[in-house]
Structure 1
């Protein structure tokens, strides 16, 4: 039972009563006699007409179990008719809710019901590029002088365009058009003309990687091109010759670039993937071999990130400084994935083993850093199974990602029966159960680990709980299945995860009006000094967080019924008719996320 509240009262001065618009004569609630106000008229109850007084009583209701406050300034009082004489009394207006608009078609009904459906529709009708974060280099908004772009904004040049790939730095951007040509923009490309411009043409480019001052581009044939990020450097140096289809005829290229050719390539073997840090790049071949090379003219890799023991500027072999070198320590392993941070590298083989090498000052290699050994110049096997000791779980790494001073990897852990004496017996119903988890290591003081903690360094990989042990019901198999990650994009100090949750993009005129399209969930975390997380706020985030939808507000249904459903989702791959109402050409398209150095982007990929 709540303690009764005691109301304290006090006399108010004439000036105080005048400022509060209180009558000069006020009857005290605890006394039968009025108290006079100096300077005011004398009060005679016999001469006052009998009319019901207006009583204003201020009080605070005490709730059971709650703390009761005593307010010394509260005073019950009576307001005389003189206080409201000649004043217009406002009357309450009754607002009648307008009837909701009735949908005239199935598609309109879906738009009213689901904001996620609207997102998918807009991504098909008007594909393009959204960017945000630091605009110091005129990358996220080439036509604006704003220092930062707080929320996703379209880059008009790419409206209604599909891209093969995109990479962003704070000072320059690069993208590959649907035709395979290279587009560059930003202050580091041309400080006087920061708008996107097509540079390298006719190479049928498919993938990009960028260092601190160069662009590494991979063609569909497996050729690797390295060219300066600065437009002036592309025009001022010696140009290579372009071969023609006509025998004995060649012409000079309008741009300066280098062709990086790995040695000892096998018959039919070609480069299928490229990744780059600030000073080094990695090449993956179709036969699972890995090459590394210098990728910057500002400095030769000196922190072991090339994976070649003893390789320095002084000990490099004769030839170009950026010639590729095979990482022979990985011979015999069939590598399927590569990743590069600023000064470190990761590789993953088809058996689920991860090797790391390079800078380890923040523990980004997955080992506790040692002051005497700042880096590893040969690949080291990351002990993935260590966190699963005694859990009857058999782990296998399924993907890797890296950026800045951070490393990430996803694990599928399967429940098995342990053969060690003393271990618990796993029930037969749990055998074979798979749990998908995401782990991170490296620098976390800015929240870029996503583990919910602020740590300078990590002595061992830490689980990202927000991206681990997620499940959903699969109607096709009538069972609960784990939600894995579809992709991880890692910038210099922030990251983004795209979940491989159930999606739907098959709603049509032949399906129910309640059948809506929806995409894959997307979450950002990490450093946010330049608003690169897209939340519209500047605070860093150490746990994965959703963004608001692009291009507009959610539907009424989403706001009223499920406010948490008002979030941005990525549209998965689908062959559709582009344009308003599907009036355009047919194309296979999906949305992708790219995190760079203090900038982020979402683009429509082909």
Structure 2
């Protein structure tokens, strides 16, 4: 990996914990490439031969005696394809922890979780208060999920078939195993409010489901026909439908994001709607993006009816995010709008006692972050959670004032990440412990990174694949070059490797997975999810967790296109096998 401005450099080792590896993603790939091990092996062989020759000349008599009284061992002969593959895989496992992690994720898909367990979410079968390091939830062994969201008191997941699973003490005080609740709706994604689960179906319908099992049983149930019978039949649980009005032909809700009291709905036509999402509190901090809308001024009809954010009409929205009480929206031209609570600078504007709440979507002047440089920024994604916001930006090198074309580097893109909001627990990821951060600050550890792409024979920027933001902590999955093509026909030193994952922020419930309780203000690595597997191969904690990218593999006697994903919740974290 190389610095965007000067000489080449590699992605630094960001982990403060002693278990983190002392080498970078690029170095680890070089060590596991098809060329490096061969050269390394050749050097070792020459060195061993030279030493052996000297020792052998000085001990000829002893060797002759030994040969007379001992038989030489027979060479290992591999006959079948299975034996050859087993031999290769054993060598790969010993050579690379990353290869072993990828293989285990395919062989044993499931869910790892850690953090606060006061609501029996990360370990439903345990009464432990904290789960300090990643631990599998046995219920999900071999299970593939479409989505998963976690709170300290309840968890929700969508099965491979599109049904809703719920667990945790907020669902039921007797809950020890996830239970199927909303079925037959072909759900694809989830968002959580303080007391409801918002679920989106493949057809664009949005369901608002109470978290509590008792409320699901006692509340009103919607009647509707099924494909078997057109006669109306009541649903098995109580839920509400959040249906935007006046959708255009072919338009449907395609993305949902939720805060404690609100939910954002983005449509396939790039329009943005917002709605109340909690049965306890009506949104009151401008996070709906509807100026003047309060409980008292709301229009007639359901309290949680979606409202179009008309201020953004005409801007084609392509990405949205929601924190506890604030909202973000990015359009296809690389602009970003923010609205809601700004008490800690989470909207990207400096704090003002006279404007703590901004209820109208406001354009964030991203250009000012690159003022004085020859870079043109474009927002490529937004993420939010708790009281923090994150922006990923592609900055393109352009002709500057006084430049005489042609100039080197023109058109080169640098991928940067910026954050704002609350940083007292390290949530900004910039190495500082700032209480209020209005102007977005660069997360240097995740910005200006490059690597060599062998498939294109070029240097490419390392972007972020996704960011998952909890209430006080965050995880970033890098979009670095990965390799999952090692097979029986490739050399034994051809190893698989995944994407780098880094963590930072609050760690009061051990949600960072380091096994320690100290907060981290800089992105850091954690150990592999299955440390016992590494120990079996002779490694002792010098490796880091890498996440498996999407790949068509065979699971349970069938071909499945799956990947691992990270989810940060309120004081909890998880990694799951997603389809």
Q: Same fold (TM over 0.5)?
A: yes
**Residue 248 of structure 1, CA deviation:** 4.8
**Residue 578 of structure 1, CA deviation:** 1.9
**Residue 429 of structure 1, CA deviation:** 1.8
- Asked if the contact 2:347–2:438 (Cα under 8 Å) also holds between the matched residues in 1, the reply is no
Residue 46 of structure 2 corresponds to: none
Structure 2 CA distance for partners of 1:390 and 1:176, relative to 1, 3 Å: same
**Residue 555 of structure 1, CA deviation:** 6.4
- Asked if the contact 1:228–1:234 (Cα under 8 Å) also holds between the matched residues in 2, the reply is yes
Cα distance per residue 1:505-556 (max 9 Å; x no partner)? 0100010100000100000100000000000000000000101001134369
Mapped partners of 1:219, 1:475: distance in 2 = 39
- Asked if the contact 1:411–1:437 (Cα under 8 Å) also holds between the matched residues in 2, the reply is yes
1:595 to 560, 568, 577: 568
Residue 336 of structure 2 corresponds to: 354
Mapped partners of 1:201, 1:402: distance in 2 = 29
1:166 to 123, 134, 148: 148
**Residue 433 of structure 1, CA deviation:** 1.3
SS in 2 for 1:462: strand
Mapped partners of 1:521, 1:199: distance in 2 = 35
Mapped partners of 1:125, 1:314: distance in 2 = 55
Residue 353 of structure 2 corresponds to: 371
Mapped partners of 1:417, 1:555: distance in 2 = 53
Residue 535 of structure 1 corresponds to: 514
Select the structure with the greater relative contact order (CA < 8 A; seq sep ≥ 6): 2
Residue 570 of structure 1 corresponds to: 547
Residue 79 of structure 1 corresponds to: none
**Residue 193 of structure 1, CA deviation:** 2.1
Structure 2 CA distance for partners of 1:512 and 1:173, relative to 1, 3 Å: same
User: What does 1:64-463 align with in structure 2 at a 5 Å threshold?
Assistant: 105-245=87-227, 248-418=230-400, 420=401, 423=402, 428-463=407-442
Residue 530 of structure 2 corresponds to: 551
Mapped partners of 2:404, 2:259: distance in 1 = 46
Mapped partners of 2:409, 2:110: distance in 1 = 46
**Residue 247 of structure 1, CA deviation:** 6.5
Residue 51 of structure 2 corresponds to: none
Structure 2 CA distance for partners of 1:246 and 1:133, relative to 1, 3 Å: closer
- Asked if the contact 1:272–1:284 (Cα under 8 Å) also holds between the matched residues in 2, the reply is yes
- Asked if the contact 2:476–2:503 (Cα under 8 Å) also holds between the matched residues in 1, the reply is yes
Structure 2: stretches of 5+ with no match in the other structure: 1-75, 77-83
**Residue 449 of structure 1, CA deviation:** 0.7
Cα distance per residue 1:322-354 (max 9 Å; x no partner)? 000000000000000110000000001001100
Mapped partners of 1:275, 1:574: distance in 2 = 27
- Asked if the contact 1:388–1:394 (Cα under 8 Å) also holds between the matched residues in 2, the reply is yes
SS in 2 for 1:429: coil
Structure 1: stretches of 5+ with no match in the other structure: 1-101
2:459 to 480, 498, 505: 480
**Residue 244 of structure 1, CA deviation:** 2.3
Structure 2 CA distance for partners of 1:312 and 1:389, relative to 1, 3 Å: same
Q: Max radius of gyration: which structure? A: 1
Cα distance per residue 1:159-208 (max 9 Å; x no partner)? 10000000000000000000000000000000122321000000000010
Cα distance per residue 1:371-427 (max 9 Å; x no partner)? 111110010001111011111001111111000000001111111002x4xx55576
SS in 2 for 1:123: helix
TM-align CA RMSD = 1.8
Mapped partners of 2:463, 2:299: distance in 1 = 43
- Asked if the contact 2:498–2:547 (Cα under 8 Å) also holds between the matched residues in 1, the reply is yes
Q: Hey, which of these two has a bigger chunk of helix by percent?
A: 2
- Asked if the contact 1:113–1:557 (Cα under 8 Å) also holds between the matched residues in 2, the reply is no
1:585 aligns with 2:553: no
Cα distance per residue 1:284-336 (max 9 Å; x no partner)? 00000000000001110000000000000000000000000000000000000
- Asked if the contact 1:416–1:426 (Cα under 8 Å) also holds between the matched residues in 2, the reply is no
- Asked if the contact 1:114–1:557 (Cα under 8 Å) also holds between the matched residues in 2, the reply is no
SS in 1 for 2:459: strand
Q: How many residues align?
A: 497
Q: TM-score, structure 1 length as denominator?
A: 0.80
